[in-house]
Structure 1
Amino acid sequence: MTAQLVVSRAYSVPVRMRLSYEPADPYVIRAVFLAPSDERVEWVLGRDLLADGLKGSAGDGDVRIWSAVGSGDRAMYIVLASRAATALLEVPVQDIRAFLQSTEALVPRGAESGHIDWDVELVCLLSQR
């Protein structure tokens, strides 16, 4: 999908945004942004956070999401903040909604824990000691 990187009230830059979802990591959505310079930036977003952003303001800290006032049901904003920079993105609501529906067809909300291989997770945790 195409998002708009908001630079100012009057100027934005189109940015390609690719979302991916793996049922083995059911709480997470990976977002890859391809800037016009072909720089690739990846963020990990909570699936519930993205879904909550469709209904109202969600998140704090590094990721915040809310519906665009005055744009009806067409757009939402995502703020991604790091120590290096902050980006404000305007994204099409219908694309986010369709993507989330496809993830829920794979793993319904509330059923995520049944898709995690807890033995593998435990091995990973113990190996980090």
Structure 2
Amino acid sequence: MPQHPVAPLPAPRVLTRSLPMELVTPDAEIRIDTTVGYDSRDPHALSLAFHLLGEDPVVWRVDREMVLTGSLRPTGDGEVRLGPAPDGGLLLRLGPAGQRALVRCDQDALGRFVRDTFVLVPQGTEERHIDWGPLLAALRR
């Protein structure tokens, strides 16, 4: 099978920002220190690392375009759902039925972060940043 030349991958770009969020319970909103991250090698996803007391962070991966859509209208399926909050924030419902966490964040701050990721990897160019080599090698076995 002939080998096709492969364009080199762009240099990886990483973006992180601290962004406080709140765990919303029936009784109170509890602040959670959160780090939002983006790595151009996984160009469709944001990571949300929730730093809890004395434990390793709990990390969720969320589609970056879903965050933008969720700021306008409810979106998502399964264990990740997002939607605008009545006060202008963004609500994230994370987890399976019966064990869901409701987290609120500043919609504008998270939106700015997502827009910054589109500067690093513009919409429509994501596949140029993915290293398909390991997958293709595994499929050839």
Partner of 1:31: 48
Q: Which has the higher helix share?
A: 1
Distance 1:63 1:13 in 2: 20
CA drift of 1:94 comes to 1.3
Q: CA-to-partner distance for each residue in 1:91-122, whole Å, 9 max, x for gaps?
A: 00111111101100100122211221222332
Please identify runs of 4+ aligned residues in structure 1 that moved more than 4 A. none
1:6 alignment counterpart: 24
Amino acid at match of 2:21: A
In structure 2, what is the Cα distance between the partners aligned to 1:55 and 1:111? 24
Alignment of 1:82-101 (within 5 A): 82=96, 85-101=99-115
Matches within 5 A, 1:53-72: 53-69=70-86, 71=87
SS in 2 for 1:24: coil
Q: Distance in 1 between matches of 2:109 and 2:22?
A: 13
How many Å separate the matches in 2 of 1:11 and 1:30? 25
Larger Rg: 2
CA distance in 1, matches of 2:122, 2:76: 21
Paired positions, count:
122
SS at 1:55's partner residue?
A: coil
Q: CA RMSD in A?
A: 2.0
Corresponding letter in the other structure for 2:54: D
Gaps of 5+ in 2: 1-18
Deviation at 1:12, TM superposition (A): 1.2
In the superposition, the TM-score normalised over structure 1's length comes to 0.84
* Structure 2 equivalent of residue 126 of structure 1: 139
Cα drift, residue 68 of structure 1: 0.7
Aligned AA (1:96):
L
Letter in 2 for 1:111: T
Q: Are residues 1:79 and 2:79 paired?
A: no
Residue 115 of structure 1, aligned match among 116, 121, 129: 129
